[in-house]
Amino acid sequence: MKSILVTGGCGFIGSHTVLALLQAGFNVCVIDNLYNSSYESLKRVQKLAGKKTDFHQIDLRDKEKLKSLFDQSRFDAVVHFAGLKAVGESMEKPLLYYSNNVYGTINLCEVMKGAGVFDIVFSSSATVYGNPERSPISEDQRLGAVNPYGQTKLIIEEMLRDLHRSDPQWNTALLRYFNPVGAHKSGEIGEDPNGIPNNLMPFVSQVAVGKLDELKVFGNDYPTRDGTGIRDYIHVSDLANGHLKALKKLAENPGIVTYNLGTGKGATVLEVIHAFEQASNVKIPYKIAPRRPGDAAVTYADSAKAEKELGWKAERDLETMCRDAWNWQSKNPQGYDS
């Protein structure tokens, strides 16, 4: 049985992936500093799986603690989610983002190397395509970040490429997620953002549950079918499965590999609102607001490479994403504090 270390395993995508790993028979150890999550998510994951995980509250920047964990335990691979992800906050506090995301990952890789662990799956993002030239976006499209958060993802990708060049023992999967949404079908785990959500789906769910009054639709004058922005929303449980496939790939010693994880289909903001209304049977009040600076009109993935090389394909549609997001939000109106 393989042992996997999951960094950031109490967070949104991490918790769903830990559940998928446990259900697939892996031993899992989670580290998280709980900066943007709570241990409650992991408690619920263990209950759903009927299986325990190891948990250590460790900050990736604390190299001594990280090293002593690797001294005590043997891991076959690391799935690395831990990072800060709020674009706006990264523009206000760039050093926090470089320190947390880049320095944290440097520490992790140094400790892994010292312990002889060379397999890593890294949470990258469609943000590395900046304002993309065209969609669907394939992995070879030009890269460029338009904010410090995106810069940290680009820098880490480049660092992991350099690491592999310096020592081919490293096997690395760079997974570029598109727009992760939804929740586990049980409604026990889901997305629980701090404060007012920046992202569309949690904002819509909080309007539906009555926590927020009204959604602002950022721009209806984009060159799209209804004038609102198009994104590739992907169910978090499909994303979790992508990590299992990536781990399987790493066992074949592929060196460094990069995959887009998306559905390949774009939905407009208005389509998301209407799908959510159908799924929840709740009317979502919204008004049209100016465009949000920095937003692209259209981004969706070409995920053919992941399908061909990983045997992975997103299975859940927008209706399922909205239904599961609503199930989670209505059962847990205050998130994990409910």
- For residues 69 and 269, which CB has a smaller minimum distance to ligand UFG in the complex? 269
263 binds ligand UFG per the rule CB under 6 A: no
98 binds ligand UFG per the rule CB under 6 A: no
Phi, psi dihedral angles at 165 (to 5 degrees)? -65, -35
What stretches of the chain show up as alpha helix (H) in DSSP?
Answer: 12-23, 39-49, 63-72, 87-92, 94-97, 104-115, 148-166, 200-208, 236-250, 269-280, 304-310, 318-331
- Answer with the entry of ligand UFG, ligand NAD, none that 276 interacts with (C-beta below 5 to 8 A by kind): none
Q: Choose which of 27, 53, 90, 100 interacts with ligand NAD (CB under 6 A).
A: 100
Applying CB under 6 A, the site for ligand NAD has a residue count of 26
Burial of 92 (0-12, 13-18, 19+ CB in 10 A): exposed
The pattern of x and - marking residues 57 through 96 that bind ligand NAD according to CB under 6 A reads --xxx-------------------xxxxx-----------
Instruction: Sort strands 233-235 and 54-56 into parallel, antiparallel or unpaired.
Output: unpaired
187 vs 167: CA distance, rounded Å: 43
199 vs 308: CA distance, rounded Å: 30
Applying CB under 6 A, the site for ligand UFG has a residue count of 21
174 binds ligand UFG per the rule CB under 6 A: no
- Answer with the entry of ligand NAD, ligand UFG, none that 200 interacts with (C-beta below 5 to 8 A by kind): ligand UFG
Which one of 26-34, 96-104, 115-123, 211-219 is the stretch in contact with ligand UFG (CB under 6 A)? 211-219
Least distance from ligand UFG to the Cβ atom of residue 101, Å: 12
Least distance from ligand NAD to the Cβ atom of residue 220, Å: 23
Q: Choose which of 44, 164, 231, 249 interacts with ligand UFG (CB under 6 A).
A: 231
Q: Which of 187, 186, 204, 203 is nearest to 195 (CA)?
A: 203
Residue that the structure tokens 């603690």 belong to: 65
- Is residue 149 annotated as a catalytic residue, yes or no? yes
Distances (CA, A) of 214 to 198, 279, 327: 14, 18, 20
Distances (CA, A) of 51 to 29, 42, 78, 247, 332: 12, 11, 19, 20, 23
Q: Which of 250, 13, 261 is nearest to 139 (CA)?
A: 261
- For residues 60 and 298, which CB has a smaller minimum distance to ligand UFG in the complex? 298
Residue from 97, 129, 149, 259 carrying the catalytic annotation: 149
Which one of 30-38, 87-95, 248-256, 290-298 is the stretch in contact with ligand NAD (CB under 6 A)? 30-38
* Residues involved in catalysis: 149
Residues that bind ligand UFG (CB under 6 A): 85, 87, 125-127, 177-179, 198-200, 203, 215-218, 229, 231, 269, 292, 295
